[in-house]
Structure 1
């Protein structure tokens, strides 16, 4: 009964669960304003904000450069340096807006390279874009009062810029664009003179239509980015995990073992490597079929995951029926207790194995090697492998702990080798 419960709990492979989760997350994100569940959403935002500081700097430099170009064009068109002191009020307002916005943009550029602002990049992007937008609409109004030729449709470019991939969520970009359109509408309704009210309201309508077009493109882009994010996570998972059991695979196991050995030596911590092999697994497959063997491995994998629950611990499938456990910062007594739990836990699953000469249920053999003076992970692995085969040759259904040469200590019911 216990075995049936364990198998039913892990009947769907981890690979299939990832695909189901990906499909569900995509549909859920599509229907719920491009949002994943909180944990996955946080991972997506962290991923999408990589390099945001560089993007913010580019946005600020581009905005400052374009604005400075308009300043130069205005200086040439209005001949500011040829008629000093003869400026009407509208021209003074235009000069003030140009200089103020240019100074703010340069401050934003400095802020992007100043480390204290590294967590405020999205705020910086919003500020730069909205500053350009307000400056542009004010400058256009000044042009109208000065009866100078101007191109109001340049504001469409500002709306488009609000949907560029600069670290803002789609909803934030949409809200920013709509608030700008509302600002233009209110500006034309409440601020400008009556003769300019009509063109300004027409401009706000044009900007609203431009926002709709840009929003559709930005929505589809973010939807595609989220799909790629889920696909990348699935591929990363497949590269590091065994598709049958959901345990880590041999490749990741080797990398993690090497890293843990280095960490243990630097910090003066202990390390235990456990190699586990299912007793008479070939006979089990011959008697019950390979599908039943797969279900049994899944049940064992769930047990190993429970044992390797700490951050630096790891459970892996390193062969057909051979699995491994890495326990970081455990003493010999703790490693011994964990091995006992492993052997007892497998027996407690009650997986029937009538063809086994060892017991009527499935059992395992385990060899546990404590880290000594080994120079590489291969040496530690070979020592754990030898301990495993000593257990198999001495009757199976047990474990053997191998201590470093300087000490040996035995516990009840568990062999210890030096």
Structure 2
């Protein structure tokens, strides 16, 4: 079976969605599929510019020049549609919405929900309204929303692969697509078990690097978009530590600019308890060294970092606006709070997750979670959907042939 995966940007350094696409493609190829990732060629560092093959997956960058991002996206999707039509793929699986898709997998969630949640984090009503208007007037955003609306219009034959129940609800709420065409195929990650000798070695090395003792409570935050993922609220929660509770240190991993967050920590008197570590290529040492992962996000369709942490036995505190919260069992894996704005609730949830009993239960359950959220399982469920689509297409062709003969 020939499968095309359409995603405009493929740069692993950009974050979770790009990494997930490459891992997903590799696992689909391991199941015997002939997989081609169709992406935009680009001049930026890390962008793909020439066809190549990796892990039995073909990568096909398509030229999409333009003076604006909107124009480049439009040209890419036209080129991708043409390439897929002429290449005779059995399945076209679009991550960036594309008119020729058989399967649409909005790894970033639906565009309407993306707009709603990006404005929800603005506290002041007037500024929130202005941000919402700005999003609506963004030419690229408006154009992609129109493409997504056409793709999911009433009567559409496209199938949707939702990364979480949260995303499935978004699709059914925002569009008139038939419910039977919206399939929950929960997100997956590729994580090897963290055995105790490796865990202990990483924990000792990282804590030595940070200059903190073994017994100190260390909270880990991992994101490239600090604002959207709730770093401001997390620092504010850190300043609310109760005198009778654990006073934790915060390790921040990600490439976003730290300036305003350093100033906030300084104003709140906790600058000595917050460490900015920049982007890290290997997160395993940090998962091993931490006691809790805090991910108080304003929006995440299904966070990879949360799934990775739980797979390695690290308790998590996140929000209900994260699809990954659906696999988190409070009391065993950490806690889910209503909103990042509840900084007191966030501080209390972190204190609960630091309980040794929670940490022990989460670590004991890691092998089960690792299977539950594996990328291998994700790829097998996608293959089952592909086979269902191809079989239905064949049955439809046979019925039409019989009717005309």
Give the TM-score normalised by the residue count of structure 1: 0.20
Bigger helix share: 1
Q: Looking at CA atoms only, which structure, 1 or 2, has the larger radius of gyration? A: 1
Give the TM-score normalised by the residue count of structure 2: 0.21
Bigger strand share: 2
